[in-house]
């Protein structure tokens, strides 16, 4: 494993793509709090209401070290302007030295309907950023990947050394392709690169269509909860603060090329998750059983021993506490 000396010092500049989204906005807040300058690149697309992203970065936008670029990772001219100095954000007088690439078309089920869009954004966009990293001698590239690359594996926990050659959705395949391009550019051009496989992230600012957010909203409205399959599918739910801790660990411990799982390493079945949320809300949920969905996997379950050892990653928020925090945020933001 090739470790490389960290070049990220306080007040260095980091580009966060997708920085107005769920994970990205929390990361921007943490980076600013830790003394970094942040360039947030986001296109505010309408996959969900753009106003939600505006709210996500409302506090960050007041910070003197925060710079928002409303643009697209498919715009290669814009990307080169940002790194060449031709594009001058509000307060940043030098170009980003680190890229944390979180921008992507999200969602397994939408990828089944529009697979070509995932090629355009999730693959081509990643290659565009790697090209910029190569041309402008970026010192570190961090890629936000997904547990979906493991495919429909029945056993767990999943290790970074496990096979990842049988994805079951275009979204997962695009993420795997992004990982392969990251490895290729790291090998060819010596770009220090870290791939982070996120496991079912949840918490305040979670996208509205994601399970925990959707279930809380429907229960609050007294509506039926759609339960796909028999409710036995299991997920490794990971609280947003723990994920951001893992990303910060990667920022502070760069490598020539490494892949890390970021999860909680504890699973819960779908039917038990629904019951837990109902208990915290004090309601009796009505459940509507539906057919298994194409592209869904039976389980996600992270082996995080590598991240513990090399990134100092140590998830702290158990699911029960995380659900309480999410419900509090949901009620306060309603």
Q: Is there a contact between 144 and 199 (Cβ–Cβ < 8 Å)?
A: no
Is residue 171 part of the annotated active site? The answer reads yes
CA distance 56 to 258: 30
Strands, E assignment, 80-202:
98-101, 140-146, 193-198, 201-202
| Token code pair at residue 131 | 């090209």
| Closest residue by Cα to residue 334 from 216, 239, 223, 240 | 216
CA distance 123 to 69: 21
| Closest residue by Cα to residue 185 from 254, 123, 122, 257 | 257
| Token code pair at residue 319 | 């699911």
The one catalytic residue in 118, 171, 237, 239 is 171
CA distance 70 to 42: 5
Q: Is there a contact between 10 and 21 (Cβ–Cβ < 8 Å)?
A: no
Helix (H, G, I), strand (E, B), or coil: what is residue 235? strand
Q: Is the dihedral of CA 156, 23, 192, 317 positive or negative?
A: negative
CA distance 315 to 281: 25
**CB neighbourhood size of 310 (10 A):** 17
**CB neighbourhood size of 86 (10 A):** 11
* Residue 105 per-residue DSSP state: -
| Closest residue by Cα to residue 170 from 217, 113, 234 | 113
| Token code pair at residue 116 | 């070509």
Residues labelled catalytic? 171
């Amino acid at each position: 494993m090739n470790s490389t000396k960290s070049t990220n010092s306080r007040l260095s500049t980091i580009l966060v793509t997708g920085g107005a989204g769920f994970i990205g906005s929390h990361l921007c807040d943490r980076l600013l709090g830790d003394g970094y300058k942040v360039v947030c690149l986001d296109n505010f697309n309408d996959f969900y209401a753009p106003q939600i992203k505006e709210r996500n970065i409302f506090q960050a936008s007041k910070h003197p070290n925060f710079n928002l670029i409303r643009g697209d990772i498919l715009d290669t001219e814009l990307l080169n302007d940002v790194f060449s100095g031709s594009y001058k954000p509000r307060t940043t007088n030098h170009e980003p030295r680190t890229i944390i690439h979180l921008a992507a078309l999200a969602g397994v089920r939408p990828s089944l309907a529009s697979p070509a869009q995932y090629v355009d954004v999730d693959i081509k966009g990643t290659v565009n950023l790697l090209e910029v990293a190569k041309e402008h001698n970026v010192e570190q590239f961090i890629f936000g990947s997904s547990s979906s690359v493991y495919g429909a594996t029945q056993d767990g926990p999943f290790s970074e050394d496990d096979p990842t050659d049988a994805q079951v959705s275009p979204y997962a395949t695009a993420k795997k392709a992004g990982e392969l391009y990251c490895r290729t550019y790291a090998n060819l051009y010596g770009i220090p690169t870290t791939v982070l496989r996120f496991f079912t992230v949840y918490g305040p600012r979670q996208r509205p269509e994601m399970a925990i957010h959707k279930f809380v909203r429907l229960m609050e409205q007294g509506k039926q909860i759609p339960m796909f399959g028999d409710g036995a599918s299991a997920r490794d739910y990971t609280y947003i603060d723990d994920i951001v801790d893992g990303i910060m660990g990667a920022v502070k411990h760069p490598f020539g090329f490494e892949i890390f799982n970021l999860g909680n390493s504890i699973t819960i079945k779908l039917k038990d998750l629904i019951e837990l949320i109902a208990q915290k809300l004090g309601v009796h949920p009505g459940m509507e059983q539906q057919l298994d969905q194409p592209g869904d996997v039976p389980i996600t379950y992270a082996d995080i021993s590598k991240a513990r050892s090399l990134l100092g990653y140590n998830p702290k928020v158990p699911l029960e506490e995380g659900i309480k925090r999410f419900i509090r945020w949901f009620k306060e933001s309603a």
